[in-house]
């Protein structure tokens, strides 16, 4: 691994050397006569006091400023034009205004923020810079720090499970992972601050992602062409867990800012805490944080689920320098945890037709540790063609042990080095965009009872680009990714894949606050490591898994249509998607029983996915909103009409948002239909109705925001099961309980 890192560094230096020359002799800045200035003040609506460190964003330019102690902000050298300007602060509303800036003019634009639960959503994942989700070509769902505090759990799978088009795959709470539009595993890419986590959660249903939701600033789910910026395998979508404030803004600030959070809940003995800080002096910024969560075995209306406990903790430190023309930072993160795998011991003790046997073995836990070291650097205002170049170098060491009682049965090691460089173009006439390169070097090794595959070395390299044409009334987006993947297993056949993925989209405004967006994607996906080389009993998917080293590439053609409206009394988005996938890789049961499990082989056949997502917020009164949602997906093998396994059922949501001063109430009813479209080895899952209530109180001050949240879940104590869970027939979902969260953010 270290030799490979050493070999790649000279190549990266070739990219950096010419940039150093450009930075020193960059072109002249725009003159005051040809540009304008935007300035203003951000205050609390109720008190009129200035708000410190509120973010102000010029959406079209991707430029961000923060308010000073007087609540003031300023943008200089703004090209003439019409712009949407958004200001936000965690725990308070976001406000957007439109402004026209003329050459040589100074325009004043003031904002007043209040406690409002509905805000303008911003995404950074779609383009690498902040952008309104309404303006995005992609379908994007975001949870900011306010939303995360209200829905706090120990895994991102549980945090996101009721977002439009997102379900929860699980083998117990510790292994919960997002399923997007019915896609799971390698087809859903989970990132932390824009880089793959390096975990093994995509390879197995009993592995989880090592991300503590208490430490996050934002969670984003992205579907559509922007996934080409991160990987050609992300057919379903990308989940980006953003843990650092400076990962979004990347500029210095004077003084201290940070947060302290605590959580406690019933039905599973939930408890946790987290704290983080940033301290800025001049152009320097130092940050750190840490915390953790734990739960015991969770309760259901049918009783307690044994060995469903979880524990996760994290520590992070970093330092960055942010100049006008260049920036650099380095950070270290340590994450570790342990969680139980319910019923795993019984499956190992089972005999015959895959039945669950008596619990003859010790309880099985997974104990993991992830170390991550990341360097980020780059240059701004390079010349008249490029606005920015950013380089990230990320080294991850992942290790987890499968424990039978106190004995170690299997040890997994996964070490990866990721490098990613991206150029941001300056807008020239109607054209803007970004392009770059990406690579991955991976050493995967496993030893012990569940050593399903031999050691494998993996190498990836990709070139990518995403461009936009803005004709005012119509916007076009097109992009591509050329990616090479190479697997070198010990004593098995080496495989290499090289393919192109592309996308094209159009965005057409239909009325003042409405737009129609259409996207077409063509995706080339190389088979995943587990699909090629796994061979043995695998409790994580409840099968004796048989890989196929002869698998071919997978080709997907997808259409995504979206109709959006974002007004003061109505916010709506309705999406329709269709994916036609040639040589779709899936796990097919053979009917044989091996080691007490159903034998299943990885095979290929054509398939199709079709579905819809609807999200609708209606303002019945300034203080009362009706919130409606619906998502559905149907997936099957094209030739036989056989339904694919573990596809989420049709699901609807009806809720209200009641806002009175600093208090908000959010009652909701979630209704899921019975899943009748089944894979041959699946069992039917009954429909269900679950009632939840979230209450929040927010107290804003000039330098603090206090947030108190109270979540009552499954109020009716309904016994229900998650069709996407591997152990749904044995483990119902959690019963009635309460969860309390307190967060204070200081700035």
For residues 235 and 558, the answer to whether their CB atoms sit within 8 Å is yes
- Site of tokens 């725990």: 91
pTM: 0.89
**Ranges of the chain with pLDDT below 70:** 1-32, 91, 116-120, 128-129, 224-226, 244-250, 347-361
- 667 burial (CB, 10 Å; 0-12 / 13-18 / 19+) is middle
The token pair at 495 is 């495989």
263: nearest Cα among 669, 713, 711 = 711
614: nearest Cα among 595, 601, 600, 627 = 627
Contacts of 737 (CB under 8 A, 6+ apart): 265, 266, 267, 268, 299, 712, 713, 714
Tens-digit pLDDT profile for residues 216-235:
888 999 986 667 888 888 88
Contacts of 488 (CB under 8 A, 6+ apart): 456, 457, 458, 459, 494
Please give the full DSSP string across 283-296, using - where no structure is assigned: TEEEEEEEEEEEE-
Q: For position 7, what pLDDT does the model report? A: 43
370: nearest Cα among 337, 335, 401, 327 = 335
Distance CA 184, CA 333 (A): 27
Distance CA 202, CA 444 (A): 14
452: nearest Cα among 530, 526, 528 = 530
Q: Enumerate domains of the chain plus CATH numbers.
A: 2-25+128-746 (2.40.170.20), 36-113 (2.60.40.1120)
For residues 437 and 463, the answer to whether their CB atoms sit within 8 Å is yes
CA torsion sign, 118 to 122 to 125 to 126?
Answer: positive
CB atoms within 10 A of CB 429: 7
CA torsion sign, 124 to 128 to 134 to 136?
Answer: negative
- Site of tokens 């991160």: 230
The token pair at 370 is 């992830």
Please give, one letter per residue, the 3-state secondary structure of 4-50.
Answer: HHHHHHHHHHHHHHHHHHHHHCCCCCCCCCCCEEEEEEEEECCCCCE
Distance CA 434, CA 505 (A): 16
For residues 531 and 585, the answer to whether their CB atoms sit within 8 Å is yes
Please give, one letter per residue, the 3-state secondary structure of 371-418.
Answer: EEEEEEEEEECCCCCEEEEEEEEEEEEEEEEEEECCEEEEEEEEEEEE
Please give, one letter per residue, the 3-state secondary structure of 327-342.
Answer: EEEEEEEEEEEEEECC
- 140 burial (CB, 10 Å; 0-12 / 13-18 / 19+) is buried
3-state SS assignment for residue 697: strand
Phi, psi at residue 540, to the nearest 5°?
A: -65, -20
- Bridge-based pairing state of the strands 218-223 and 195-196: unpaired
């Amino acid at each position: 691994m270290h030799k490979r890192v050493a070999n790649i560094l000279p190549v990266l230096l070739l990219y950096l050397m010419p940039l150093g020359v450009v930075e020193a002799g960059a072109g002249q800045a725009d003159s005051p006569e040809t540009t304008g200035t935007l300035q203003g003040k951000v205050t609390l609506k109720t008190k009129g006091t200035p708000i410190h460190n509120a973010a102000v964003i010029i959406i079209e330019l991707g430029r961000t400023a923060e308010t000073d102690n007087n609540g003031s902000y300023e943008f200089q050298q703004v090209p003439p034009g019409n712009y949407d300007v958004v200001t936000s602060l965690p725990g308070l509303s976001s406000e957007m205004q439109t402004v026209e800036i003329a050459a040589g003019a100074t325009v004043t634009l003031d904002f007043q923020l209040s406690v409002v639960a509905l805000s303008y959503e911003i995404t950074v994942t779609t383009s690498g810079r902040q952008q309104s989700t309404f303006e995005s070509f992609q379908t994007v769902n975001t949870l900011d720090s306010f939303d995360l505090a209200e829905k706090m759990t120990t895994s991102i799978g549980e945090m996101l499970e009721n977002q439009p088009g997102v379900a929860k795959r699980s083998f117990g709470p510790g292994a919960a992972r997002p399923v997007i539009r019915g896609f799971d595993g390698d087809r859903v890419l989970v990132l932390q601050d824009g880089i793959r986590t390096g975990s093994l959660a995509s390879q197995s249903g009993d592995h989880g992602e090592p991300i503590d939701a208490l430490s996050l600033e934002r969670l984003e789910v992205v579907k559509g062409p922007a996934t080409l910026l991160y990987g050609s395998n992300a057919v379903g979508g990308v989940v980006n867990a953003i843990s650092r404030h400076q990962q979004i803004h990347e500029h210095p600030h004077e003084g201290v800012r940070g947060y302290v959070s605590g959580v406690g809940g019933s039905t599973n003995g939930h408890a946790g805490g987290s704290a983080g800080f940033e301290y800025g002096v001049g152009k320097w910024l130092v940050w750190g944080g840490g915390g953790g969560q734990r739960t015991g075995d969770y309760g259901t209306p049918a009783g307690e689920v044994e060995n469903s406990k979880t524990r996760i903790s994290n520590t992070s430190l970093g330092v960055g320098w942010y100049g006008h023309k260049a920036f650099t930072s380095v950070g270290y993160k340590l994450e570790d945890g342990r969680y139980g795998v319910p019923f795993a011991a019984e499956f190992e003790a089972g005999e015959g037709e895959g039945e669950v046997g008596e619990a003859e073995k010790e309880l099985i836990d997974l104990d993991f540790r992830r170390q991550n070291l990341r360097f980020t650097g780059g240059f701004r205002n390079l010349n008249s063609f490029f606005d920015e170049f950013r380089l990230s170098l990320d080294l991850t060491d992942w290790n987890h042990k499968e424990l039978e009682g106190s004995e170690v049965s299997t040890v997994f090691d996964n070490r990866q080095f990721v490098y990613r460089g991206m150029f941001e173009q300056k807008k020239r006439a109607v054209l803007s965009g970004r392009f770059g390169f990406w690579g991955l070097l991976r050493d995967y090794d496993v030893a012990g009872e569940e050593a399903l595959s031999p050691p494998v070395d993996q190498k990836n390299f990709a070139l990518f680009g995403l461009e936009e044409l803005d004709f005012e009334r119509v916007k076009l987006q097109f992009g591509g990714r050329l990616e090479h993947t190479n697997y070198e297993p010990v004593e098995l056949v080496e495989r290499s894949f090289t393919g192109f993925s592309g996308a094209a989209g159009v965005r057409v405004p239909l009325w003042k606050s409405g737009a129609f967006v259409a996207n077409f994607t063509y995706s080339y996906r190389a088979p995943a490591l587990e699909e090629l080389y796994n061979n043995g009993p695998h409790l994580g998917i409840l099968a004796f898994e048989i890989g196929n080293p002869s698998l071919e590439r997978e080709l997907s053609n997808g259409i995504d249509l979206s109709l959006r409206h974002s007004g003061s009394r109505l916010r709506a988005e309705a999406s329709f998607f269709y994916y036609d996938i040639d040589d779709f890789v899936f796990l097919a049961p053979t009917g044989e029983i091996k080691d007490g499990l159903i034998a299943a082989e990885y095979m290929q056949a054509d398939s199709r996915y079709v579905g819809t997502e609807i999200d609708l917020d209606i303002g019945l009164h300034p203080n009362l909103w009706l919130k409606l949602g619906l998502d559905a997906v149907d997936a099957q093998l094209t030739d036989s009409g056989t339904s694919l396994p573990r596809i989420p059922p049709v699901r609807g949501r009806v809720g209200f948002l009641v806002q009175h001063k600093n208090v908000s109430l959010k009652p909701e009813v979630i209704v899921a239909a019975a899943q009748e479209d089944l894979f041959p080895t699946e069992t039917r899952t009954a429909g269900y109705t679950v009632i939840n209530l979230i209450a929040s109180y927010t107290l804003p001050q000039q330098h603090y925001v206090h947030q108190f949240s109270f979540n009552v879940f499954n109020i009716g104590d309904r016994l229900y099961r998650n069709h996407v869970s591997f152990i749904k027939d044995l483990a119902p979902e959690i019963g009635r309980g309460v969860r309390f969260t307190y967060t204070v953010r200081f700035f």
